[in-house]
Structures are given as C-alpha cells and as structure tokens.
Structure 1
Amino acid sequence: MDTKALDYIALTLVIIGAINWGLIGFFQFDLVAMLFGGMASWISRVIYAAVGIAGLYALTMFGKISNSRMNS
C-alpha cells in the first residue's frame, strides 16, 4: 500500500476518534457505541482499536513533517 494512502486512512481514523471523544466529553454521547451496538460489541472494539493504531501511526507524521521542512 502506498504510504500516502496509509497517511490519509490514518488521518481519517484519527479525526473520527477526535470527533467521538469530543462528543463524549461535551455530551456524554459515544457515537461509535451507539452506531455499532455498544462498547462491548466486537465491531465497536475493532473500530476503537483501529483508531488507536491510527493514532500511534500518526505519531510518525511528526517525523515526516520535520524531514520535509529540512528538505525545503
């Protein structure tokens, strides 16, 4: 898979996670749990895990940003 495509997928998942956490923080409403059958359902757990992995992958984007600034 192309690294750029993986970056966009990770960014999309991180944004979904950020929106979900915002909803939880402001309104005590877990959109992922509501859409996919609660926090204990397997699909919700897969989504939470994918968002978590995407967040960890997004940490590598800091290195890409600093490398692109050095090359400019």
Structure 2
Amino acid sequence: MTFMNVLTLALVIVGGLNWGLVGLFGFDLVAAIFGAGSLLARAVYVLVGLSAAWQIMPLTSALGSRELAAERKR
C-alpha cells in the first residue's frame, strides 16, 4: 500500500468517525478542534473529501482483481 493510499485512508476514517459523532450526538469534532467555519476546519473537510475521491481508485482496482480471480477459478 502506497503512502498516499495510507494517508487518504486515514483521512477518510477520520471523516467517517466525525460524521458518526455528528449523527449520533450532533457533535462536530473537527469544528470543535479548529473552530466552526474556520479556514482550517474547511481545509480538513476538503482534504477528507479529496481523500474519499482518491480511495475510489484502489477500491475499483481491488474489485476488478477479485472479479478476475473469481473468473479464473471457474
């Protein structure tokens, strides 16, 4: 796994945990740490979004290789 994949996966996990907190408790951890609407909070949200987009590539690659492996077993 490349450094970029590990970094973006970590950011996606942070974003997912933050959304879990928002959904369960109405608590936005990123806003609490960096300030609601601050430039830093917005930067974290943008980085999490870009990380999610980046993670589409390894996901499609993994799905594609598993489909090929399943076809080879036939």
TM bucket normalised to smaller: 0.7 to 0.9
* Partner of residue 47, structure 2: 50
Q: CA–CA distance in 1 between the matches of 2:60 and 2:21? A: 30
The one-letter amino acid paired with 1:36 is: F
Aligned-pair CA distance for 1:52: 0.3
Q: What TM-score, normalized by structure 1, do the two folds share?
A: 0.85
Q: Give structure 1 regions of 4+ aligned residues with deviation exceeding 6 angstroms.
A: none
State percent identity of aligned pairs: 36
Aligned-pair CA distance for 1:62: 1.6
Q: 1:23 aligns with which of 10, 21, 24?
A: 21
Which runs of structure 2 are paired with 1:1-72 in the superposition (5 Å)? 4-38=2-36, 40-69=37-66, 70=68
The structure having more radius of gyration, on CA atoms, is 2
Q: CA–CA distance in 1 between the matches of 2:9 and 2:26? A: 24
Gaps of 5+ in 2: none
For residues 8-53 of structure 1, the C-alpha deviation after alignment (integer angstroms, 9 at most, x for no partner) is 0010000000000000000000000000011x10000000000000
Q: CA–CA distance in 2 between the matches of 1:58 and 1:42? A: 24
